[in-house]
Amino acid sequence: MIPITKPFLPPVEEYSNYLSGIWQRQWLTNMGPLASKLELKLKTHLQVKHLLFVTNGTIALQMAIKALDLKGEIITTPFSFIATTSSIVWEGCKTVFVDIDKDSLNIDATKIEASITNKTSAILATHVYGNPCDVLAIEKIAKKHNLKVIYDGAHAFGVKINGKSIFEYGDISTCSLHATKLYHSSEGGLIVTQNSELLKKLASIRNFGFKDSVSFSELGINGKNSEFHAAMGLTNLDYIDRIHEKRKLLTECYDKNLKKFRAYKPVWSKNATINFAYYPIVLESEELLLKCMDDLKRKEIFVRRYFYPSLASTLPYLNKEYFEITDDVSKRVMCLPLYYDLTLEEVEYICHTILKVQNN
């Protein structure tokens, strides 16, 4: 059996070493020493100014919307994971979807301005598969119309663009450290901002809005994460280079073997590094995709239609809307298995299988 993904697990002894410290200190959560250490290490690793370790990537998005005090309409992409949309709705704002660019699969920056109204307060865009959005174009639009920018960087851990972290763009960037992501702490999320006032506000929001033990500075939530999760994050961080190398090797193997397969890969942003978070391909047709999936499933190989369907066309709490590129791409896109334990032989086998389906 080849699953679509497998969480990376470090040697159990290394994780256990952290556990004995937790037992000694009897400090399990509430911004303990391991959580603080992880924040420091990640700040250095990612080369960002400020960063908060939070419960998960979804809470990170919701806290970002809350901290920026967003109201009214938020422009966003229909081609993302559900949390990008649900966090907007959960925070009482209205989603305004803008179609994606068929090459990058990110929100099409050239179509954003046409959707701006006097109620628009922000743009919330996803760096899909870790591929940076057109951050400079979005920055320009946001400045011109006085909008805030949040980036859902759940896929973008470690990506750099123009020599700096992708998380340093926008007012706030978020990341997910969920077990299925490239780098994880079992459950977890990150909030990155350049603005130290905003950082203070976010830190307070993370801790119920406490100002001190008896007073509150604003409406908060429990966005903290535990020492156990921090320990997993710390242990895994020592393996990040190896994880990266292995995923690069697997990706190159897919590339080499799929040259004749009738599909394209998203076109990567110029001046950006690649983190090999996923192996997405957009197939020639949905028919070919379904045939491939069928055949792979028979061989116990699992791929994922990521993202399918479009967020704008399926949610019970939103009016259905259709978008030319998003609807077309989401029907034809799939992610192939990519994880640390996957072998080159397995990649070759997967490629061989789908090529055979195509050529039959």
Note the residues at the interface with ligand PLP (CB under 6 A): 56-58, 80-81, 83-84, 126, 152, 154-155, 176, 178, 189
Q: Kindly report the number of other CB atoms within 10 A of residue 322's CB atom.
A: 12
Least distance (Å) from ligand PLP to the CB of residue 255?
23
Residue nearer to ligand PLP on the CB measure, 253 or 335: 335
Round to the nearest angstrom and report the end-to-end CA distance of the chain: 24
Residue nearer to ligand PLP on the CB measure, 57 or 220: 57
Residue nearer to ligand PLP on the CB measure, 5 or 165: 5
Closest CB to ligand PLP: residue number: 57
Residue nearer to ligand PLP on the CB measure, 126 or 165: 126
Nearest CA among 181, 187, 151 for reference residue 167: 151
Least distance (Å) from ligand PLP to the CB of residue 282?
18
Residue nearer to ligand PLP on the CB measure, 258 or 266: 266
Residue corresponding to tokens 């990341």: 175
Q: What are phi and psi of 204, to 5 degrees?
A: -70, -40
The burial of 239, by beta-carbon neighbours within 10 Å (0-12 exposed, 13-18 middle, 19 or more buried), is given as middle
Least distance (Å) from ligand PLP to the CB of residue 23?
27
Contacts 24+ apart (CB under 8 A), 100-104: 100/128, 100/323, 100/325, 100/326, 100/329, 101/134, 101/325, 102/325, 102/328, 102/329, 103/266, 103/267, 104/128, 104/131, 104/133, 104/134, 104/266, 104/267, 104/268, 104/269
Least distance (Å) from ligand PLP to the CB of residue 292?
23
Residue nearer to ligand PLP on the CB measure, 240 or 290: 240
Q: Kindly report the number of other CB atoms within 10 A of residue 113's CB atom.
A: 13
Least distance (Å) from ligand PLP to the CB of residue 291?
27
Least distance (Å) from ligand PLP to the CB of residue 155?
6
Burial pattern 199-213, b for ≥16 Cβ within 10 A else e, equals: bebbbbbbbebbeee
Tokens linked to 257: 């073997």
Residue nearer to ligand PLP on the CB measure, 154 or 272: 154
Least distance (Å) from ligand PLP to the CB of residue 76?
11
Residue nearer to ligand PLP on the CB measure, 127 or 160: 127
Least distance (Å) from ligand PLP to the CB of residue 356?
31
Q: Give ∠ CA 174-110-75 in degrees, rounded to 5.
A: 45
Query: Do the beta carbons of residue 261 and residue 354 sit within 8 Å?
Result: yes
